[in-house]
Amino acid sequence: MEIIDTFAEARSLNRGTVGFAPTLGFVHEGHLSLIERARRETDHVLVSLFVNPLQFGEGEDFAAYPRQLDRDARLIESAGADVLFAPAAEEMYPVEPATTVDVAPLAAHLDGVARPTHFAGVATVVAKYFAGLRPDQAYFGRKDAQQLAIITRMAADLSMPVDVIGCPTIREHDGLALSSRNVYLQERERDQALSLSQGLMAAADRVDAGERSGPALELIVRETVPTFEFEYVAVMNRATVTPLAVLDRPAFLAVAGRVGKARLVDNIHFDFQNGEVSVDRGVRLTGPSLLYEQ
Amino acid sequence: MEIIDTFAEARSLNRGTVGFAPTLGFVHEGHLSLIERARRETDHVLVSLFVNPLQFGEGEDFAAYPRQLDRDARLIESAGADVLFAPAAEEMYPVEPATTVDVAPLAAHLDGVARPTHFAGVATVVAKYFAGLRPDQAYFGRKDAQQLAIITRMAADLSMPVDVIGCPTIREHDGLALSSRNVYLQERERDQALSLSQGLMAAADRVDAGERSGPALELIVRETVPTFEFEYVAVMNRATVTPLAVLDRPAFLAVAGRVGKARLVDNIHFDFQNGEVSVDRGVRLTGPSLLYEQ
């Protein structure tokens, strides 16, 4: 694997179909699953690693966000990447960026409320990756469902010739969705954190049993873990990220809540084929995540 | 010349270095000069023709904007284009676009004041052309100086591998900067319209004679044509589109004013080489513009 720090050099190494997975580093099995899938589906696998200041809000954990390039490079290579694009801030932002890419209608709900500048920061940097690195297929986790919807729409709206592919959420053995921020959790907080996936799995069971009402599914989540204080519980149209009353098209059920210092999000996706819904609950690891390896 | 109506097909025809000039149609010698320059400097010349609703504000002349595809195609071909990309609205906007590309700091002055949504509309559609058509060099008129600054910054901020090249303003024989909107002018209005270029040329003479003060140059414009009511007269830093007090770096002197139904803009550019300023006043046609041909 080559480690490259300029857009031009990374782009010059592209050959055949290019699969791309962007990361903020401190990678876990979720990221690796994206890279492994890119390896299976494309000729050339390009991964980026950059902790993007634009997508952290005031008072968020930009400075504290874990950075471990050697560890990350080893894992990214082992998952099958050909090139790791790890630019310095000077390559990403040689001058103060003046350009914002915003998909405002899709950022009006959910995390867009608590983090008003977050999604414009994400859309801007991903637009930059897509324009500057020119992948043919780009892989994102379904765990960040709103982000995935926004990036999908951004690429389509800007006629970018890239397929944006959402991949199943990877969960720890107990159901907690993998997140680099899980390492912040103390032991007691971890039990609380499980409320998110427990609520979602209960709702997934009810969809399998025939429930199609958005509000009913939201209630099931809340009733399953009545002591947990959710920031939101919402069934959303996947194309528009607006509330969906009846589960009759691609959608997701998203939850968020604060546990200790960490703000956690999770969701399940509802896919449709021939009018039949199937629930994507994600994939569970059988053992501890490599996040906890020393 | 091939006329193509999808991004994918236009892109598939690219070969070698690709030169690109976007137009709203009803082309004149200004557009043709961009195409001719692309012909000289690149292997494959791609021109777009689309009247972009996003860059017209409420109450502006979107519906009335002149559209003549046959005439335009003939002229664009004669200037040396290989491909004319003339998409239908359905190709450009298959769904209501939710994505905005904004270079807000550079749109805070001049035309950004009178036309608050205009430059985001321009930046968005040009980002789409750059991402979807993948030119290596893109040619824009210096006449739209603020637009040129915004597009240059947008492409750099988004790491788009395209050189944005500003080309001299083409003027009618009497000095009036060419614009498709000139056809709106009645004969008496045309005399008024000349005030813009007359003021600018007087300022250009004073720069040649050693004047370097931004405010002094602005005053010269106003004093040269004291009866004309300018919307603005401003010497601006070309990189930031903010007011420049002393002419010591790349800049332009921009003017705008309303004449009859038409809102006209014009400018001269100040280029620097080895610390020496030179004034780009644009290029005058020797005869009548083809805008006035039947």
Q: Are residues A52 and A24 in the same domain?
A: yes
Residue A24 lies in a domain: yes
Instruction: Assess whether B118 carries a catalytic annotation.
Output: no
pLDDT score recorded for residue A274: 92
Q: Which of B31, B44, B118, B269 is flagged as catalytic?
A: B31
CA distance A25 to A48: 8
The string of pLDDT tens digits covering residues B85-133 is 999 988 999 999 999 999 999 999 999 999 999 999 999 999 999 999 9
Query: Residue A180: which of A58, A55, A35, A72 has the closest Cα?
Result: A72
> Which CATH number belongs to the domain containing residue B236 in this structure?
3.30.1300.10
Specify the pTM.
Answer: 0.95
One-letter amino acid at B68 equals: Q
Tally Cβ neighbours within 10 Å of residue B274. Answer: 4
Residue A292 within a domain = no
Question: Of the candidates A167, A196, A214, which is a domain's last residue?
Answer: A167
B89 and B20 part of one domain: yes
- Determine the length of chain B: 294
**Per-residue model confidence (pLDDT) at position B273:** 94
Per-residue model confidence as pLDDT tens digits over B120-171:
999 999 999 999 999 999 999 999 999 999 999 999 999 999 999 999 999 9
String of b and e for B102-138 (b: at least 16 CB within 10 Å)?
Answer: bbebbbebbbbeebebbbbbbbbbbbbbbbbbbbbbb
Q: What is the 3-state secondary structure (H, E, C) of A181-202?
A: HHHHCCHHHHHHHHHHHHHHHH
CA-to-CA distance for A270 and A249, rounded, in angstroms?
8
> Which residue of B8, B104, B127 is in closest CB contact with A158?
B127
Number of domains into which chain A is organized: 2
Other C-beta atoms lying within 10 Å of the C-beta of residue A214: 20
**Rounded to 5 degrees, what are φ and ψ at A84?**
-105, 120
Residue B59 has what pLDDT?
Answer: 78
Q: What is the pLDDT of residues B74-83, one digit of tens each?
A: 999 999 999 9
B8 touches chain A (CB under 8 A): yes
Residue among A130, A159, A163, A241 with most chain B CBs within 10 A, to mutate? A159
Joined together, the tokens standing for residue B98 give 């939710």
Nearest to B132 among A8, A153, A159 (CB): A159
Contact list, A101 vs chain B (CB under 8 Å): 99-101, 127, 158
What the block records as the tokens of B71 is 């005439």
Select the residue from A5, A12, A100, A129 to test the B interface by mutation, using most B Cβ atoms within 10 A. A100
Which domain CATH number covers B150? 3.40.50.620
Q: What is the pLDDT of residue B5?
A: 95
Q: Looking at the domain assignment, is residue B286 inside a domain? A: no
A114 DSSP assignment: H
Q: Does the residue A245 lie in any domain?
A: yes
User: What residue ranges of chain A have pLDDT lower than 50?
Assistant: none
pLDDT at B64 over 90: no
- Same domain for B58 and B153, yes or no, is yes
Q: Are residues A43 and A184 in the same domain?
A: no
Identify the closest residue of chain A to B94 by CA–CA distance: A157
Indicate the average pLDDT of chain B: 95
Q: Which two tokens stand for residue A142?
A: 């379904």
pLDDT score at B294: 66
pLDDT of B66 reads: 67
Whether residue B185 sits in one domain with residue B166: no
Interchain CB distance below 8 Å, A132 and B102: no
In a domain, A174, yes or no: no
Q: Is residue A175 a part of any domain in this protein?
A: no
Looking at the fold, whether A109 and A247 belong to one and the same domain comes out as no
Same domain as B231, residue B108:
no
Strands annotated E in chain A: 2-4, 18-23, 44-49, 83-85, 100-102, 137-141, 163-167, 170-171, 230-237, 251-259, 262-273, 276-280, 283-284
Does B121 lie in the same domain as B11? yes
| Last residue in a domain, options B114, B146, B170 | B170
pLDDT at residue A45, rounded to an integer: 98
* Contact present, A21 and A35 (Cβ < 8 Å): yes
Among candidate residues A286, A214, A201, the one with its CA nearest the CA of residue A247 = A214
Residues of the domain holding A188: 180-286
* Cβ neighbours of B134 in A, within 8 Å: 134
Of B257, B234, B229, residue with least CA distance to B245: B234
A65 and A151 in a common domain: yes
Catalytic residues of A, which ones?
31
Q: What's residue B248's pLDDT?
A: 97
User: What span, in angstroms and rounded, lies between the C-alpha atoms of A72 and A193?
Assistant: 25
> Which two tokens mark B84?
């004319």
Q: Are residues B78 and B162 both part of a single domain?
A: yes
Segment 79-108 of chain B within 8 Å of chain A by CB: 94-95, 97-106
* Domain identity same for B61 and B157: yes
Set of chain B residues whose Cβ sits within 8 Å of the Cβ of A104: 98, 100
| ipTM, 2 dp | 0.94
Rounded Cα–Cα distance for residues B145 and A153 (Å): 31
In-domain check, residue A215:
yes
What is the DSSP code string of B32-91? HHHHHHHHHH-SEEEEEE---GGGSPTTSSTTTS---HHHHHHHHHHTT-SEEE---HHH
Q: Which two tokens stand for residue A200?
A: 């979602």
Q: Among A136, A167, A198, where does a domain finish? A: A167
Do residues A103 and A123 lie in contact, with contact meaning Cβ atoms separated by under 8 Å? yes
> Greater confidence, B67 or B258?
B258
